[in-house]
Copies of this chain bind each other. A is one copy, B any other.
C-alpha cells in the first residue's frame, strides 16, 4: 500500500436551503475541491459518492453518475455508497483504498444530502430506516429514542449527568459560532441546554444534531504526486472501516460502540500512533452522548469519563484535545451523506492552518470518526501534515 494524500477540499455551507437541489450542492463542493487542487474533471479517474437517502429525501437513485455528469465527470467508474450516516466515510475509505493499492492515481470522494425539503416527522422516519426495521424500529423507536436509551444506560453505569451531555452541546455551539459555514451560529449556555425542549428523555433539542442540506468533497492522489497539485497536501496516515450488528438489543453493551473501538485501533496501528498522540478530532456527535462515547472508545479518556472530560474543558478550543472544532454535527450541521467527507475537510483545514477563528496551534495530527446508525458502521481516519 502506498501513501495517499488529500490534495483538494471543498464544501458547501451547511443549512436549510430551499432553493438548492441535491445535484447543485454536490457539484458546488466538487468544483471547489477540484479548484483547490488546481485539477480538472477530466483528471478524475474514479468517483466515490456517499449518500444516505437521496431516493427517500428527493426521489433520486443512481446518484453517482447523476452527480458526476453534472460536474463534468463521465466514463469513469462512478459509485454510490450507502452506510447510513457513515455513507461518505465509507466512500472515502474505498477511494483511499483504490489509490493506496495503486488502482488509480487521482480520485474524488464526495458526500451529499438534501434533507430540508421534507417535514421533520418524515425526516425522522427516513433516518429510522438505518435502524433494524424488523426489530427496534417496528417496536416504535426512532434514532433520538435509541440514543436516549444509550445515554440513560451510560448515566446508570458511569454516573454521566445531563450537565455532561449539555457541556458537549455548549462547546460545539461555541465552535460552530466561529465557523462561517456552520448551519447554526448560536452560543448557548448550560442552563439553556438543560432547559431544552424534551425530544427523548434524557435528550433535549440541544442534544440532537441538525437536519441540514450540504455537500463536501475531497480529491486524493498518491503522496508522491501531491506536489504536482498543491502545497497544502494532507496525508492519510491511517484508516479503517468496521461494522457491527444494527439492533441495540443484539449488542452486549450499549455504552460502547464495538465498531468504533475496533476502527480506532486499526487506524492507530496503520498510522503508527496511539490515542495520546491525536491532537484534535472531529467526532460523530449525532447526539451529545455519541461524542462522549466516541471520546472513550477512541481512548482519549478512560471508559465512562467522557462526560467529565468535556465538562472540565479538555475538549474545548483551548483544551488539551479539542473535539469538533468545526461545531460538529450539533452546530455545523448534519447533512447525513455529506458528514464523513465534511469531517475530513475540517480536519484538513486545521492541519493546513486555514481554520480561521477556530485555528489550533497544535494541529499536526488529527482524527475523524464517522458513525453509521447506532454503531453498525464506523470509519476512523487519522490525518497528518504531508511534509
Interface, chain A (partner B; CB < 8 A) = 1, 21, 23, 47, 52-53, 55-56, 58-66, 68-69, 74-84, 90, 93-94, 97-98, 100-103, 129-134, 240-246, 250, 258-259, 262, 372-373, 376-377
Contact = CB atoms under 8 A, between A and B. Distances in A.
A4 to B, nearest CB: 13
Given A60-B133, A77-B240, A101-B101, 15 more contacts: A56-B56, A58-B133, A64-B243, A64-B377, A65-B246, A65-B372, A69-B250, A69-B376, A76-B242, A76-B243, A79-B83, A79-B241, A80-B81, A80-B82, A98-B101
A79 B311 CA distance: 36
A377 B133 contact: no
Contact of A52 (B61, B79, B130, B372): B61
Given A21-B134, A61-B129, A130-B62, A90 B98 contact: no
Contacts of A77: 90, 93, 240-243
Contacts of A47: 243
Interface SS majority for chain A = mixed
A217 B64 CA distance: 23
A84 B80 CA distance: 10
Contact of A82 (B82, B101, B103): B82
By Cβ-Cβ distance, the 9 closest A-B pairs, closest first, are A101-B101, A77-B241, A61-B129, A65-B376, A78-B243, A62-B84, A65-B243, A62-B130, A69-B245
Given A98-B101, A101-B98, A62 B250 contact: no
Contacts of A64: 83, 243, 377
A244 B102 CA distance: 24
19 contacts: A59-B133, A61-B129, A62-B83, A62-B373, A62-B376, A63-B82, A65-B245, A65-B246, A66-B132, A69-B246, A69-B376, A75-B242, A75-B259, A77-B90, A77-B241, A80-B83, A81-B81, A97-B101, A97-B103
Given A82-B82, A90-B79, A262-B75, A377 B62 contact: yes
Contact of A377 (B78, B83, B250): B78
A377 B258 CA distance: 35
Contacts of A81: 79-82
